[in-house]
């Protein structure tokens, strides 16, 4: 659902600071298109390496391979076993927990520890191989250049790096650490995910690092799943310390209705833009954008892919402002999918797929 929200996200820039005399400093109320564009492009670069892109696209395949190695019947194997099954349903995070066993945490399958998985171009899935290089207490998956049309490895296969997953924590609060490396062995993306909460209200807390060099980023993500109300809440934050640049997205999601309540802020120095509102992937909705705590634009969605962006008087934005908002929307569209992208590869390690 969230991946369909292209160009329906948001920007938010700058922080309210206090002058030495204790009075609030006036905040810029223009979009500062050149600076905002630079901030977005630098932030995107930390999270959109070839290795991270491969991880996001192959996360479900990674979890599927671990689930199958533990004796589970994957959706792909069910489809292959009988012609009566014609579609493969996509399980939401709520559905995963509703279907999960209440038995103690299941570790990574013992047969997979110390093993490397490579992509099988015949069966279009990961297979365990004799290749070395995996940690003895975890698993390793080779990552490849992705075909954007299929979201699977392009053929012929071209390796771009690898990802390792190790398990830790306790039975009541399992954790998984994931590290993505390029072909030179340099870590370009890593995080630790911890599962907590209760049976009816499970939760995840994730923290990690993205990118390399002076503009490397840190990030955190908190996800709550309420099986009673069927809601998901998410709080996604990124920081580039070298630029004092931060973003924060808070989401309330109802998978059954498709309704999303969103509030987003991106800030650097005195520049602050905040976007908030409620929308539905089918019926549309409206978001407001504030720059320097002043209304800057309205974003109206008609539910059929149409998006209208106007200033407070209902007039079009300048070409520069619209182009900047397009970049901003691209970034926040990606941020709206991170909660699933980070969890997809580690469900087995966290004891959700059992």
3-state secondary structure of 261: strand
The model's pLDDT over 138-157, given as tens digits with 9 standing for 90+, comes to 999 999 999 999 999 999 99
Instruction: Tell me the H-state helices in the chain.
Output: 33-47, 50-69, 75-81, 93-99, 319-335, 338-343
Per-residue DSSP letters for 138-188? Answer: EEEEEEE-EETTTTEE-SS--EEEEEEEEEEE-SSSEEEEEEEEETTS-EE
The model's pLDDT over 74-123, given as tens digits with 9 standing for 90+, comes to 444 333 333 333 333 345 677 766 665 444 445 799 999 999 999 999 99
Q: Beta strands 187-197 and 202-210: pairing type? A: antiparallel
Arithmetic mean of pLDDT, 277-294: 87
pLDDT computed for residue 354 by the predictor: 53
pLDDT grade for 219, boundaries at 50, 70 and 90 = very high
C-alpha span between 295 and 97 (Å, rounded): 40
pLDDT computed for residue 110 by the predictor: 93
The model's pLDDT over 307-349, given as tens digits with 9 standing for 90+, comes to 888 999 999 999 999 888 778 777 776 667 888 899 999 999 9
The model's pLDDT over 154-196, given as tens digits with 9 standing for 90+, comes to 999 999 999 999 999 888 889 999 999 999 999 999 999 999 9
Which residue ranges make up each domain of the chain? 1-17+27-47+220-336, 50-78+91-210
Residue from 203, 192, 172, 175 nearest 102 by CA: 172
C-alpha span between 208 and 30 (Å, rounded): 33
**pTM, two decimal places:** 0.83
C-alpha span between 206 and 250 (Å, rounded): 15
Are 296 and 29 in contact by the 8 Å Cβ rule? The answer is yes
């Amino acid at each position: 659902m969230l991946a369909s929200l292209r160009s329906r996200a948001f920007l938010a820039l700058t922080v309210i600071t206090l002058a030495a005399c204790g009075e609030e400093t006036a905040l810029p109320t223009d979009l500062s298109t050149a600076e905002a564009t630079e901030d977005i492009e630098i932030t995107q670069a930390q999270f959109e390496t070839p290795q991270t892109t491969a991880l996001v696209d192959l996360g479900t395949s990674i979890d599927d391979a671990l689930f199958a190695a533990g004796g589970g019947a994957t959706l792909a194997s069910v489809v292959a076993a009988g012609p009566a099954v014609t579609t493969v349903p996509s399980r939401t995070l709520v559905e995963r927990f509703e279907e999960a066993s209440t038995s103690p945490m299941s570790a990574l399958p013992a047969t997979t520890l110390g093993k490397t998985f490579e992509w099988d171009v015949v069966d279009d899935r990961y297979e365990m191989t004799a290749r070395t290089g995996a940690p003895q207490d975890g698993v390793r998956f080779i990552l490849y250049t992705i075909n954007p049309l299929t979201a699977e490895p392009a053929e012929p296969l071209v390796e771009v790096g690898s990802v390792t997953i190790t398990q830790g924590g306790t039975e009541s609060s399992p954790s998984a650490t994931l590290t993505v490396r390029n072909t030179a062995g340099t870590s370009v993306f890593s995080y630790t995910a911890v599962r907590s909460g209760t049976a009816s209200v499970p939760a995840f807390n994730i923290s990690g690092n993205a990118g390399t060099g002076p503009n490397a980023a840190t990030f955190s993500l908190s996800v709550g799943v309420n099986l009673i109300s069927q809601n998901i809440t998410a709080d996604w934050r990124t920081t580039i310390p070298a630029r004092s640049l931060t973003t924060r997205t808070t989401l309330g999601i109802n998978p059954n209705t498709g309704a999303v309540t969103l509030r987003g802020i991106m800030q650097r120095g005195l520049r602050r833009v905040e976007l908030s509102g409620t929308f539905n992937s089918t019926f549309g909705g409206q978001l407001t954008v504030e720059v320097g705590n002043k209304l800057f634009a309205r974003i109206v969605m008609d539910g059929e892919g149409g998006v209208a962006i106007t200033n407070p008087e209902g007039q079009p934005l300048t070409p520069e402002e619209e182009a900047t908002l397009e970049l901003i929307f691209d970034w926040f569209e990606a941020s709206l999918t991170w909660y699933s992208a980070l969890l997809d590869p580690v469900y087995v390690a966290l004891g959700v797929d059992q």
